[in-house]
Amino acid sequence: MRIEKIELFHVAMPLISPWRTAYGEDHVIESVLVAMHAQGEVGWGEAGPLATPTYSPEYAAGVFHTMKSWLAPCLIGKDIRTGQELGALLDWVKGNPFAKAGLDMAWWDLSARQAGRPLCTHLGGSSAPISVGADFGICDSIQQLVTSVAGAVAAGFPRVKLKIREGWDLAVVQAVRREFPSLTMHVDCNGGYRLDDRRLFEALDELGLEMIEQPLAHDDLLDHAQLQSALQTPICLDESITGTSKARKAIEIGACRYVNIKPGRVGGMSNAIAIHDLCQDKSIPCWVGSMLESAIGASQCLALGTLPGFTYPADMFTAGVLYAEDIGSPEIGLSAPGTVEPSSLPGIGVRPDPARLAARTLSQASI
């Protein structure tokens, strides 16, 4: 299909409650929504690297500039038939996976809408519901966290993820484990520790966690391999896997036994599928992560999560959890306890609500 126009919307979406992790505290989530036009149809994507370069080197205002100045212009007028062709057109720009991903995901949605198919089956996945977990950032007190986890367990979520950082780690995880001895749970360190913290990891290793997510630096593989060799608990890499080549290297050197796949972080849906396939080939289970996207980006993640290698419940925030009013419509809801159903409409089945999009837009560009 020949790409006729690309619109970019740098948006700021205020959270109901602050999201606290090892890398900082977010009150507002910024992302870039992409509308890609061809033959009377519009596909939507979302690049959600956060407002600041704290999760990765990219940030929303920079992604908006990179897309507007460098990436989007080289797609206009091009006849793009596959995700690989789109990737090849963007390949001359080094790095910048989130910026590339926003365009890639808009192309995938456009391609599915033009084929008249839901994105889930268009990607090679299924139309079956996916399993989703409950995630908890750093809270004001351990008691507050234990009460929230109890709510998630009662609501039927199949697993729980706890964000940890220095000062909010071992005692917190031990307290939750005491209350819920058989709960499937894991911790996410967001790169907040070093190899010197070996004693903490040995103590966590005793708590029957499903995995320890991204314990060490965001760009590291070697130290993770060394730590993994000393632990029974699988290490899961998130921030470190920025593309297919990084995934291959991580698996080859034994840096992880789980992979968190976020289409934004790995450069888009085509790379996400390639990493999923690689993990399946190497018997590494994977699961879909979240960048706290609107329902636009979350629907892309939901479609991806229907592929067969995603065996651990996804990070997925449904309507009313993050945002009082989601930009995307319809919002995503639970179809059963701990379960979300992909849309049966063509593409992702979600579009921005025009009034909410206008109210949340900081900058806009048309290429």
How near is the Cβ of 240 to Mg ion at its closest, in Å?
10
What is the chain's Cα-based Rg? 19
Give the nearer residue to Mg ion in terms of CB position, either 26 or 238.
238
Report which DSSP code applies to 144: H
What DSSP state is assigned to residue 21?
A: E
Q: Does residue number 188 form part of the binding site for Mg ion (CB under 5 A)? A: yes
Nearest-approach distance from CB 74 to Mg ion, in angstroms: 31
209: closest CA among 192, 231, 191?
Answer: 231
User: At closest approach, how far in Å is the CB of 289 from Mg ion?
Assistant: 6
Residue of closest CB approach to Mg ion: 238
Site stretch for Mg ion (CB under 5 A), options 100-108, 231-239, 277-285, 346-354: 231-239
Closer CB to Mg ion, residue 3 or residue 302? 302
**Pairing status of strand 212-213 against strand 235-237:** parallel
**In the bound complex, what is the minimum distance in angstroms from residue 22's beta carbon to Mg ion?**
10
Environment class of residue 234 by beta-carbon count within 10 Å: exposed (0-12), middle (13-18) or buried (19+)? Answer: middle
Concerning whether 262 is annotated as a catalytic residue, the answer is yes
329 burial via Cβ count (<10 Å: 0-12, 13-18, 19+): middle
Annotated active-site residue 163? The verdict is yes
- How many residues line the site for Mg ion (CB under 5 A)? 3
Dihedral of alpha carbons 89, 92, 98, 99, sign: negative
DSSP calls for 265-277: TTTSHHHHHHHHH
Please, which residue, 33 or 212, has the CB nearer to Mg ion?
212
Residue 303 has phi, psi (to 5 degrees) of: -60, -45
Q: Which of 163, 246, 249, 282 is catalytic?
A: 163
- Of 238, 326, 331, 353, the residue at the interface with Mg ion (CB under 5 A) is 238
Q: Give the dihedral sign, CA 276/188/343/63.
A: negative
- Cβ distance to Mg ion smaller for residue 260 or 271: 260
Minimum distance from residue 244 beta carbon to Mg ion (Å): 19
Query: Judged by CB under 5 A, does residue 210 bind Mg ion?
Result: no
The helix/strand count (H/E) of the chain reads as 12, 15
Largest CA distance in the chain: 60
Separation of alpha carbons 342 and 173, rounded Å: 32
Residues 108-137 that bind Mg ion (CB under 5 A): none
- For Mg ion, the closer CB: 22 or 90: 22
* 26 binding Mg ion? (CB under 5 A): no
Q: Which is nearer to Mg ion, 22 or 72 (CB)?
A: 22
Tokens of 220: 């590291």
Nearest approach, Cβ of 188 to Mg ion (angstroms)?
4
Residue type, 141: S
Q: Give the pair of three-digit tokens for residue 260.
A: 């968190």
Contact positions vs Mg ion (CB under 5 A): 188, 213, 238
Active site residues: 163, 262
